[in-house]
Structure 1
Amino acid sequence: MVEETIRPPQPTSKSPTSQPMRRMDQRRARRRSWKRWLANAMIIGGVLVLAYPFGTWAYTWFVQRGLRAQLEQADPRFMETSELLDAGGLTLVEVPAGAASSPSQPDVAPQNASDPAWLTELRALKAAATAFADSVRGRPGTPIGRIVLPAIGLDVVMVEGVEGRDLREGPGHWPETPFPGQGGHFVVSGHRTTYGAPFLKLNKVLVGDDIYLVLPYAVVKYRVTKVIVVNPRDMKDVATSDKEMVSLAACHPLYSARQRIVVQGEMTGFALAADVLPN
């Protein structure tokens, strides 16, 4: 007699028990897919966060090259005066301490043969500054010159304006403040951590350090008199002055916009481009 082996019924795709198992497998697959997506998103996000500063630095580096070329093309004397300054061969007209404090002095004092040389030159500087200011007024993003601060290795092209797009290209001049020579306070803002971070080392500047502004119409020298930290709301007061001054301002501390660090200097000398390199 042949015994028949009885096997338990095998589940089929139509078996009632297969439906819950399939749904469970699908849920597990979705969970795995979601976790995988989240992990990939976190990796990509981390890479972007790390790459962002480098990307902004690269952008500004390329933009700065173009800005310097624009300045040199607009007035070849700009390149030549820059080279003279870099080589230490530029002779500056020295301005006595406090002599440039009154913005109206060059206009009010009668012009005669007994005028000191620096006063005659200061009149010429004011005329050149006013003409240049008129040429860039209302043109944000226009390159206007170089800031050179040897103590911290700074040499960067500045632009007109302080909107976000302007500061991405380089330090920006506050349009409401006068140009060097016009009798007042020339104020520039710049980034410390992104877009080339031109003002990264402002906290390393010391009283007595020199600042040079290399402009198409002149090279102007300042001596640092003060390094301060203020609240953003106080910047307007800080920027107000009768003196021929410069202020370089940036966010402080690093990676925060809570305060502003400001380096201030007073004019000590200048050289007109027209005098150094006549056309």
Structure 2
Amino acid sequence: MNAKDTAKLHKTAKKPKKKRSRRSKLSTLLIVVGIIIIIIPFATELYGYFEAIKLTSAWDLQAKNQRKRGDKIKSYQDELVASGQLPQEDSIIDNSKLGKSITHKKDSERKKPFPKTRIRIPKIGVDQVILEGVGPEILQYGPGHYIGSCNPGERGNVGIAGHRVTYTHPFNRLDELSNGDTIILETVDFIYEYQVENMMVTDPKNVSNLQPTSDPRVTLTTCNPKYSAKTRLNVIGVLINTKPQRVNIVRAVKEIKEIFKTEKKIEKIKFDDKPKTTKEYQRDLEDAKKAINKNALDGNAYIIMSRSCLGLERYGESYQALKKAELIQPDSVEVQRMYRLIDMKKKQLEDEVHAMESVTDRNGLNPMSYFELGRMCLATENYEEAAQAFKNGSVAAPYAADMYAYQALAYEKMKRDDLAVTAYNLALRYDPTFPEAVEGMKRLQSGKSASGLDVNSLPYKLRPQ
């Protein structure tokens, strides 16, 4: 072998080393990228943990300052209350019966404790830490969370009470709010934005506004008017936005999973085996209304409206739309199918009530289960069953005006106006302005009733007190 061949062989022998070097660098790069991908979630979680500690410490300090302020003015405030110069607000807010009537789960069955929460209402300058409980020893230090009501962000009603003019008086300017204003509940993990939807003044014994709801809401309660404890001011807000406190990859993944779970849970009725979400039902309902506006004899549009309203738990509208569809298409297979779906939904509600009654004592009954069943029975014209459902619900929530008002409506449909008057009077006792009760009384006072009974001759106080 000559020198030229040797050099050539030496040159070719070095090439594999370069390839191995490139592969080695690529492998190292992939390993580094993999390590980074693994570390990032833990790093962000660790960062979030320390941020949560900082936030918790800040709120602990804020709560401590609230307590100092409450202690500082306590003796002076107590003297003013004792002398009658300030109202006894505790008698309005701390109501033992109220607490029992809104507790729809036993304390031992509650899944989550009330988280450390701050309430902010930008329009009226409220910024305080919420304490757990609404007893006098709690509310002198700031707003309190009704034990038994939901936690921030959950589906249901978050009940929060606060003094109007005594102690730290967080809700002093609550009456200045109006529809559309923002209420913010801030936990260590999330910021929940609620929008004021309604404001009402009720009797102190009326707790219907604090009952569980099917959507996420907040209800703020305080004495009304200022320097008086005659009535209760209720400000009701609906959840419009949820934001995480910090960017957190792990939490984001969990949230995405929860969203998919929630979307599946919202769907309770399936049609053609295709699950729908609340938004999809609302969109279908709007499309159906547009179609009906164009053609009032569009039977398919009424079927879609009925199906959408059933999914949205608007039972009365669902049943009425289906009856219109039946008039237009009396032999329609889809109409009969919708009737079966409504029957299935009614059976589902009945099963829920029976299951609850079999495992829960009287104090743990959920009034919303009876309320939903009663609404379904009213919609499907099963008035006797509806009256019984609302009657059972009033046992679980004895101060809920809406329970008595709907019970009275069922009695009206049964032509039992004597019972209807009694039920309407109970509704007006707990909420003198409850619209359905006021209208029902006006109907009964208008003259001879449907059952042939002269309501005006009855020994009841027919006018709202």
- TM-score normalised to structure 1 length: 0.49
Higher strand share: 1
Higher helix share: 2
Q: Relative contact order (C-alpha < 8 Å, sep 6+): which is higher?
A: 1
